Amino acid sequence: MKAIFSLLMVLALVVIATVGAGAAQMHTIFAYCIPRTAFIIFMVGFVCKIISWAKRPVPFRIPTTGGQQQSLPWIKQNKWDNPSTGPQTFIRMALEVLTFRSLFRNTKTVMRHDDGQNPVVGYVSAKWLWLFAIMFHYGFLTVVVRHMRLFLQPVPAPIEFLDWADGILQILAPTIYISDMLLIGGATLLLLRRLCAPKIRYISLVNDYFPLFLILGVACSGAYMRYVAKVDIMGIKEVVMGLITLHYAVPAGIDTSFYVHVFLVSCLLVYIPFSKLMHMGGVFLSPTRNMPNDTRINHYVNPWNNPAIKPHSYAAYEDEFREHMLEAGLPLEKTPEQKA
Amino acid sequence: MAKIMKPDELIKSINYTPPAENWLDLPNDLSPGRWAYPAKKNKVEYLMNELPGIFANPRDWSPGDVDWKLPSDWKEIVVNGFRERLDKYRSLKVFMDVCVRCGACADKCHFFIGSGDPRNMPVLRAELMRSVYRGEFTLAGKILGKLTGARVLEEDVLKEWFLYFYQCTECRRCSLFCPYGIDTAEVTMMARELLHLVGVNINWILEPVSNCTRTGNHLGIQPHAFKDIVDFMLDDIETVTGKRVKCPLNEKGHEILFITPSGDVFADPGIYTFMGYLILFDAIGLDFTMSTYASEGGNFGLFTNADVMKALNGKMYAEANRLGCKWILGGECGHMWRVVNQYMDTMNGDLQGPQMKTPVSPITGTVFDNAKATKMVHIAEFTADLIKHGKLKLDKSRNADINATFHDSCNPARAMGLLDEPRYVLKNVVDNFHEMPDNTIREQTFCCAGGSGLNTDEIMEIRMRGGLPRGNALRYVQQKYGVNTMACVCAIDRATLVPLADYWAPGVKITGLHELVGNALILDGEGERTMNLRQEPLPGMEEE
Amino acid sequence: MKLYNGGKIITGLVIFLCVFLAPFAYNAGKAAYSQPKVQLPKDEKECIESKEYMRTNHMKLLNQWRDWALRDGKRVYVNSKGKSFEISLQNTCMKCHPNKAEFCDKCHNDAAVSPYCWDCHYQPDGGLKK
């Protein structure tokens, strides 16, 4: 139900673009006005969201420690999972962001009910989520970087190289991109996982299905342009360069699929700052990952620490129990006589 | 304690496939046994006076009643409190915003593994709050409502919070597996703070908090009674070792203040661990004192409220200053060490007197640089250092009847990283040691299911369900290697693992690490030992 | 407005902005982009198919020609108007478009396309790409 609703929303977006740019021929709006506005919303929204997080203090150092602490010199510290210095924390974060290290730990709980036997709860390795996520994210990244061939003139050598390497399979003409397969494959597998795994299906919301369908829409419209419609790439480069250099001109004869693609990308850009897709910025700000486990070593300041909060004082304690303490022979600050 | 089903029946009742209806539509099961008793009226009143602004609404009530007697403006109080905490804690704000519901955490929680209740998946536990966050604070949530998993705060939602944020032991296992490090413990802490604002609370937390404030320890033991108990244990040590050891109380002028959870002082089997500490201190001639005023290591504020945590924790430095101690040695305790490691110096570092110095072991000269800010050393670190330097005379054969495994407590494992020190000590005092399976130890350890204030008997079924992963792993090594003892470094473990082992792995006994040290340690001038600290015959000393 | 860990976060945001605004800076001050002018044959007005078809589908056609000629031995192509051509890169295509640099490379460079025609074929006048 939530998945169907999300799919219909994405299809509605496709229809809007098809009608608007195809039937109604509003090329300037779809080629320039909408993407430009979307890009501005994305940039401003993204920065505002990060700033809104930055305005919140981090009162305590609460890293989740994933290994042996820094301790006695002869005990080997697990520096990447339990860092105690800035550089070690940097490595932990780099591994988290670049290799999805926490996800790589994933296990699956299985329970066997053997008749008459002892039931066993087991934890088996489950790296599928990690694999799908890696496929999807690196596929997506490569696709985005590769698109720079349309945004830069002359095309820098690294982008040219990336395009060549991505098409190295030399299958089909134009050659199929590995990143396209990773992106579409990864997103599809993540979607299937959401739909088929009962627990994941149970926790999924429209907020989860919609971006997946939207990204699949972006990827599929892009693939359609390249492999099926075989759009006029030089005309498209002229449009895109117009966006970048602020010279607006729309050459005739560009396939409607281009406008659909651009419209979906625009929707994605607008959606990012207001959604869970902000995890791309949030992962850097998670206090359980980006802080060293060093508060026993170095003083850390809580900006809203309230010095007025004091422990129940010893004086009040002794006042309450003085007689008993005296009787039990415990040392006193003030004898009952002194107190009186 | 209500009678609970047998282990195999309990296991058969678990179904990991979620129900058909949306979790937002699931009813709250508030039948007896599903919740811990609410706080007594006089305890809340005492705390409102001691620590203003944190607790409220003292009354006689029961979660089983339809009317919880909430204040008329309860919703406003909770929503405002929520907003305030979103502004005070980046963690809460980021965790509310970035979850992608990938489900990596879903089957990592011991309460989910033992119950199959979907609201015990960490992701949904956080969604209990996140749904209100969307419904009350975001535009999309206000417009689109349930489709985006948003809802407004209603009394049933508050009841649901009470049910499920008191089925979280803040063990942080989910956080380890989360790709963004979302820590349900953090969410649970916030939810509990909000519930306290409208007087929704449990007695097993607030009575200890009030006792810790007033008498210095969670059991409410008054100073003279504390001394009696310690004297009684000194007698027992004399019976076992033939030697009278010392335990100074509230004495000024000693180098080290020793603080351990009060569970060690009074509850079996913690008392044997306590005896182990005293034997160790005698063996090395440590210049220490204990305090009746700061006689609780465990910090019940950790799972109550940050300000309460600060107030309770502050006693440690206050007492070290009053007694003129240079540094503090901390006993075996879980929550205590989360607080000492991650909060203590930040909260109360400014209370440290000038006499406090970076801890140095007076026996080996080792400088504990890793504690130079807090001035507080864990006894497992301290003892490991002693053994490494050959300062202890140990006779492992006294523990020859023990086939041990080691339970990592959640907090020392995932909020500190104290993993190899206790193992090093353990392997030096027992010959037979076997680890439980890899995915159940060290940073992936499973909770005893009684932490964060849930160590109470009226919710025994919930505890036994949550104890399934630990119990099952224990049963596994019991059958495979003949393990008969599980050692741990946590006072709550020593209290909760006993019924857990009786239920899931009958025949395994629970010990503290230093109980085994105390047994193996040879004291100068001791008599021939024929029994262990539990006054059971040592191996080879059994009467015919 | 007080930011916490402001230095690190602002640094991160600056990197973010730099990455996303880099294309604007890269092209700043340059004249409007227009599609490259390729050198067209002087004496031939029509290609084997229409100009529009060739613009978007030449790679597919070349791929088919290779398969037909080398794998199937078919050497004659009949176009949509019924006219026949010899299937040959050297003898048909390059008869009118002898200069790779002035024809093929013009668009391929701008679109960062690296066709693998010249892995096997002799490079015509105009030398190596670029």
For chain A, which residues make up each domain, given as ranges? 2-309, 312-340
> B285-313 as b/e, with b when 16 or more CB fall inside 10 Å?
ebebbbbbbbbbbbbbbbbbbbbbbbbbb
Instruction: For residue B375, tell me if it sits in a domain.
Output: yes
Q: Residue B259's beta-bridge partner residues? A: B330
CB pairs under 8 A between A and B: 324
Q: How far is CA B24 from CA B118, B129, B534, in A?
A: 11, 12, 51
Is some CB atom of chain A closer than 8 A to the CB atom of B87?
A: yes
Domain contains B537: no
Q: How confident is the model at residue A117 (pLDDT cuts 50, 70, 90)?
A: low
For residues C35 and C108, the answer to whether their CB atoms sit within 8 Å is no
Q: Hey, are the CB atoms on A202 and B140 less than 8 Å from each other? A: no
Cβ-based neighbours of B325, under 8 Å, separated by 6 or more: B254, B255, B256, B257, B289, B319, B355, B356
CATH topology assigned to domain A2-309: Fumarate Reductase Cytochrome B subunit (1.20.950)
Q: Least CB-CB distance to A276: which of B99, B144, B319?
A: B99
Distance from CA of A280 to the nearest CA of C (A): 11
Among A160, A248, A250, A254, most C C-beta atoms within 10 A, so best to mutate, is A160
Mean pLDDT to the nearest integer, B309-324: 97
| Touching subunits for chain A (3+ Cβ pairs under 8 A) | B, C
* CA–CA distance, B153 with C63 (Å, rounded to integer): 64
Q: Which two tokens stand for residue C6?
A: 């402001």
Structural domain tally of chain B?
3
Using the beta-carbon criterion (under 8 Å), do A300 and B341 form an inter-chain contact? no
Whether B482 has a pLDDT exceeding 90, the answer reads yes
User: Which tokens in the block code for residue B419?
Assistant: 């993993």
| Statement to judge: residues B501 and B375 lie in one domain | no
User: Is a pLDDT exceeding 60 seen at residue C130?
Assistant: no
CB contacts of C11 in chain A (<8 Å) are none
Q: How far is A290 from chain C (nearest CA, A)?
A: 11
Give yes or no: residues B420 and B352 share one domain. no
Q: How far is C59 from chain A (nearest CA, A)?
A: 6
Annotate B20-42 with b (16+ C-beta within 10 A) or e (fewer): eeebbeeebebeeebbbbbbbee
A121·B469 Cβ contact <8 A? yes
B438, B306: one domain: no
Measured CA to CA, the distance from residue C103 to residue C105 in angstroms comes to 6
Lowest mean pLDDT among A74-78, A106-110, A206-210, C25-29: C25-29
Contacts of A150 in chain C (CB under 8 A): 111
The burial class, CB within 10 Å (0-12 / 13-18 / 19+), for A323 is exposed
Task: Tell me the average pLDDT across B347-360.
Answer: 96
Cα distance between residue B476 and residue B375, in whole Å: 40
Backbone dihedral angles phi then psi of residue B230, each to the nearest 5 degrees: -65, -45
Average pLDDT, whole number, for chain C?
A: 88
Mean pLDDT of A303-313: 94
Residue of B nearest to A305 (CA): B347
Q: Can you give the pTM of this predicted structure? A: 0.94
Note whether A58 contacts B90, CB cutoff 8 Å: yes
The SS3 assignment for A143 reads helix
Q: String of b and e for A27-55 (b: at least 16 CB within 10 Å)?
A: bebbbbebbeebbebbbebbeebbeebbb
Q: How, if at all, do strands B403-407 and B432-433 pair?
A: parallel
B451-467, pLDDT tens digit by residue? 999 999 999 999 999 99
In a domain, B307, yes or no: yes
B13 occurs within a structural domain: yes
Task: Tell me which chain B residues have a C-beta less than 8 angstroms from the C-beta of A72.
Answer: 366, 381, 384-385, 388, 421
Q: What is the pLDDT of residue A113?
A: 65
Q: Please tell me the distance in Å from A42's CA to the nearest CA on chain B.
A: 17
Does A245 touch chain C if contact means CB atoms closer than 8 Å?
A: yes
Peptide bond into B248 cis (omega under 30): no
The letter for the amino acid at C81 is K
Test mutation, B82, B87, B91, B234, chain A, max A CBs within 10 A? B91
Q: Encoding tokens for residue A288?
A: 């359980």
pLDDT number for residue B1? 46
**DSSP run (H or E) holding B407:** strand B403-407
How far, in Å, are A181, A207, B246, B395, C35 from residue B282 at the CA level?
Answer: 69, 62, 7, 16, 89
pLDDT at B419: 97
Residues C4, A46: C-beta atoms closer than 8 Å: no
Which alpha helices (H) appear in C28-116, and where do they start and end? 51-66, 94-96, 104-110
CATH number of the domain where residue B357 is located: 1.20.1050
Of the three residues B388, B419, B440, the one that is the final residue of a domain is B388
**pLDDT for B402:** 96
- One domain, residues B157 and B65: yes
Which member of A58, A241, A285 has the closest CB to residue C33?
Answer: A241
B381 and chain A in contact, CB less than 8 A: yes
Terminal CA-to-CA distance of chain B, rounded, Å? 39
Q: Which long-range contacts link B187-191 to residues 24+ away (Cβ below 8 Å)? A: B187/B92, B187/B95, B187/B125, B187/B126, B187/B129, B188/B125, B188/B303, B188/B452, B189/B302, B189/B303, B189/B306, B190/B82, B190/B85, B190/B89, B190/B92, B190/B129, B191/B128, B191/B129, B191/B161, B191/B165
Give the pLDDT of residue B136. Answer: 93
Q: Is C42 on the interface with A (CB under 8 A)?
A: no
A317:B293 CB<8 A = yes
Average pLDDT of the residues of chain A: 93
**B72's tokens:** 């008329």
Neighbours of A185 (CB within 10 A): 15
Q: Which residues of A touch B127 (CB under 8 A)?
A: 203
Assigned domain for B49 exists: no
In the predicted model, what is the mean pLDDT of residues C28-50?
Answer: 87
pLDDT single digits (tens) B404-444: 999 999 999 999 999 999 999 999 999 999 999 999 999 99
Q: Are residues B292 and B308 in the same domain?
A: yes
Residue C129: its chain A contacts at CB < 8 A? none
Q: Choose the weakest-confidence range: A248-262, A304-318, B353-367, B452-466.
A: A248-262
Question: Is A72 in Cβ contact with B18 (below 8 Å)?
Answer: no
Instruction: Flag whether B528 is in a domain.
Output: no
- Determine, for residues B347 and A62 on separate chains, whether the beta-carbon distance falls below 8 Å: no
Which residue's entry shows tokens 């800010």?
B373
DSSP code per residue over B182-248: --HHHHHHHHHHHHHHTT---HHHHHHHHHHHHHSSTT---HHHHHHHHHHHHHHHHHHHS------
CATH number of the domain enclosing B489: 3.40.50
Task: Note whether B39 and B139 are within 8 A (CB).
Answer: no
- Report pLDDT for C129: 44
Residues B149 and B83 in one domain: yes
Which chain B residue lies closest to A193 (C-alpha atoms)?
B102
Q: If you ran DSSP here, which 8-state letter would residue A155 be given?
A: P
Chain A residue at shortest CA distance from B476: A120
Flag whether residue A58 sits within 8 Å of chain C, measured between CB atoms: yes
Residue B355's pLDDT band (boundaries 50, 70, 90)? very high
Full residue range of the structural domain in which residue B364 is found: 216-388
- Check residues A118 and B65 and name the one with the higher pLDDT: B65
For A308, other C-beta atoms within 10 Å of its C-beta total: 6
B536 assigned to some structural domain = no
**Residue A250 pLDDT > 90, yes or no?**
no
Give the residues across from B258 on adjacent strands: B329
CA B544 to chain centre: 42
Contact partners for chain B, using 3 or more CB pairs closer than 8 A, are A
State the pLDDT at residue B142.
87
Q: Counting one residue from A and one from C, how many pairs have CB atoms under 8 Å apart?
A: 109
Minimal CA separation from A105 to chain C, in Å: 27
Is the residue at B247 inside a domain?
A: yes
Position C126 pLDDT exceeds 70: no
Average pLDDT over residues B364-376: 96
Of B12, B144, B342, the CB nearest to A295: B342
Domain check: are B63 and B193 in the same one?
yes
Nearest residue in A to C19, CA atom: A145
Q: pLDDT tens, C96-123?
A: 888 888 899 999 999 999 888 888 887 7
What pLDDT score does B164 carry?
A: 97
A296 to chain B nearest CA, in Å? 5
Percentage of residues in chain B having pLDDT higher than 90: 92
Per DSSP, the three-state class of B256 is strand
pLDDT digits (tens, 9 = 90+) for B278-305: 999 999 999 999 999 999 999 999 999 9
Asked whether residue B317 falls in the same domain as residue B433, the answer is: no
Measured CA to CA, the distance from residue B441 to residue A338 in angstroms comes to 55
Q: Cβ of B225: how many Cβ atoms within 10 Å?
A: 17
Lowest mean per-residue pLDDT among B6-15, B68-77, B453-462: B6-15
**Peptide bond between residue A174 and the one before it cis (omega within 30 degrees of 0):** yes
| DSSP H helices in B430-482 | 460-466, 468-481
Q: Looking at the structure, do residues B154 and B288 belong to the same domain, yes or no?
A: no
B144/A contact by beta carbon, under 8 A:
yes
Which pLDDT tens digit goes with each residue over A255-284? 999 999 999 999 999 999 999 999 999 999
Between A94 and C1, name the one with better pLDDT.
A94
- The answer to whether B37 and B202 have CB atoms below 8 angstroms apart is yes
CA distance to A62, C17, C18, per residue, from C14 (Å) = 27, 5, 6
Contact check, Cβ <8 Å, A174/C113: yes
CA B386/CA A23 separation, integer angstroms? 83
pLDDT, residue A173, reads 80
B120/B260 same-domain check: no
CB within 8 A of A271, min separation 6: which ones? A210, A211, A214, A277
CB-nearest partner of B319 from A107, A304, A314: A314
Note the pLDDT tens digit of each residue in B131-165: 999 999 998 888 888 888 899 999 999 999 999 99
